[in-house]
């Protein structure tokens, strides 16, 4: 179990009176009103200002079909230990981005959420064609919509833990019919609930086309997170094209340096800040492998964000409150559910 005596309050050069702690006093926490802007966690709604330092795309537990052993994260105790390590380095919230087609394990995640002092957020939706095609009614928009809506308003996988985010995805350099139907169903679920949408792209491809399809389904770009934009070097203009739509640009391959170093990522983030898009950027650690998680004796593990990458951001010229914006303010805004006035879940 997490030991609060090991907590390390990293300040990254904050001035007196500035803090990375949540704005909301945790001693005053109460369930947020469901008919007002809120963030839905596995344990219920919270106010956006309660979120704290957040990783908006992680994997703790999953059992993807046909995956090798490195990709099968089945150990609840190790998953809990990984969350505890993140909390120790001033983390507060995590979005567990495993969808049903990739072996979502809601009951086990819920048990972790009940034990650790962190906000865990689950997702509904589908990853992309390769996994979505293995489930029933992959081309049935109405059935998908009903599933996503139930996940968001009733609970996932036989529990009462609601999803807080809708996930959709695309394939490398194409969007298949199955992915288009999923996107349409996600758009309908968003319209009914106001839940945000996060996306899986293959190496950042098809991002603009994905945003166009979501817009056609009634989703404004500022309610969408475009993920995996930093798997390999991309021209600055490609990143600018996405953020100029109003969508969030998510650097979530941090710590993976096969083709793109973390210093390059930090420098690119600084460039985007200088261009005026600091409020459209998100940081996360898409570590869906044992070899990347410290609880399985892998590396670098979820503490890497606070231990190392935020230091690189400072070396690239960002100030402490700009890092606070990336780690706290932007995810709180991106993950907030805005219930439609005529629809209360």
Express each pLDDT in 36-46 by its tens digit. 999 999 999 99
pLDDT at 308: 94
CB of 124 within 8 A of CB of 151? yes
Q: Is 250 helix (H, G, I), strand (E, B) or coil?
A: strand
Domains in the chain, CATH or no CATH each: 46-334 (3.20.20.140)
**Cα separation, 227 vs 250, whole angstroms:** 5
Helices (H) and strands (E) in the chain, counts: 12, 10
pLDDT at 151: 98
Express each pLDDT in 126-149 by its tens digit. 999 999 999 999 999 999 999 999
**Cα separation, 342 vs 262, whole angstroms:** 45
Q: Provide the 8-state DSSP code for 102.
A: G
**Which residues on adjacent β-strands are paired with residue 123?**
165
Encode the chain (345 residues) as per-residue pLDDT tens digits.
445 555 455 566 666 666 676 665 544 556 789 999 999 999 999 999 999 999 999 999 999 999 999 999 999 999 999 999 999 999 999 999 999 999 999 999 999 999 999 999 999 999 999 999 999 999 999 999 999 999 999 999 999 999 999 999 999 999 999 999 999 999 999 999 999 999 999 989 999 999 999 999 999 999 999 999 999 899 999 999 999 999 999 999 999 988 899 999 999 999 999 999 999 999 999 999 999 999 999 999 999 999 999 999 999 999 999 999 999 999 999 999 999 987 544
Q: Cα-Cα-Cα-Cα dihedral of 95, 97, 98, 101, to 10°?
A: 140
CB of 250 within 8 A of CB of 229? yes
Is the pTM higher than 0.75? yes
């Amino acid at each position: 179990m997490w030991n609060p005596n090991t907590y390390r309050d990293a300040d990254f050069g904050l001035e007196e009176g500035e803090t990375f702690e949540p704005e909301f006093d945790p001693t005053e926490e109460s369930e947020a009103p469901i008919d007002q802007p809120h963030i839905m966690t596995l344990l219920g709604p919270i106010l956006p200002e309660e979120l704290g330092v957040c990783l908006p795309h992680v994997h703790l537990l999953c059992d993807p079909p046909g995956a090798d052993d490195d990709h099968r994260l089945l150990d609840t105790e190790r998953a809990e230990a990984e969350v505890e390590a993140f909390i120790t380095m001033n983390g507060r919230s995590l979005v567990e981005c495993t969808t049903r087609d990739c072996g979502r394990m809601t009951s086990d995640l819920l048990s972790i959420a009940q034990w650790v002092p962190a906000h865990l957020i689950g997702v509904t939706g589908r990853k992309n064609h390769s996994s979505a095609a293995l489930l029933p009614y992959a081309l049935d928009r109405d059935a998908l919509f009903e599933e996503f809506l139930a996940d968001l308003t009733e609970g996932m996988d036989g529990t009462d833990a609601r999803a807080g985010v809708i996930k959709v995805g695309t394939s490398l350099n194409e969007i298949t019919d199955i992915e288009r139907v999923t996107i349409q169903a996600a758009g309908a679920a968003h319209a009914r609930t106001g839940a945000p949408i996060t996306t899986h792209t293959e190496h950042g491809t098809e991002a603009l086309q994905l945003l166009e399809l979501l817009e056609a389904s009634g989703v404004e770009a500022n309610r969408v997170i475009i993920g995996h934009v930093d798997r390999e070097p991309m021209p600055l203009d490609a990143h600018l094209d996405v953020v100029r739509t109003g969508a969030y640009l998510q650097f979530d391959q941090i710590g993976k340096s096969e083709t793109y170093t973390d210093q390059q990522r930090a420098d690119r983030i600084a460039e985007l800040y200088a261009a005026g898009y600091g409020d459209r950027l998100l940081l996360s650690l898409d570590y869906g492998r044992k070899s990347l998680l410290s609880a399985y004796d892998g590396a670098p593990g979820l503490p890497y964000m606070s231990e190392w990458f935020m230091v690189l951001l400072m070396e690239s010229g960002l100030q402490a409150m700009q890092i606070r914006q990336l780690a706290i303010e932007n995810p709180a805004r991106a993950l907030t559910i805005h219930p439609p006035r005529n629809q209360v879940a």
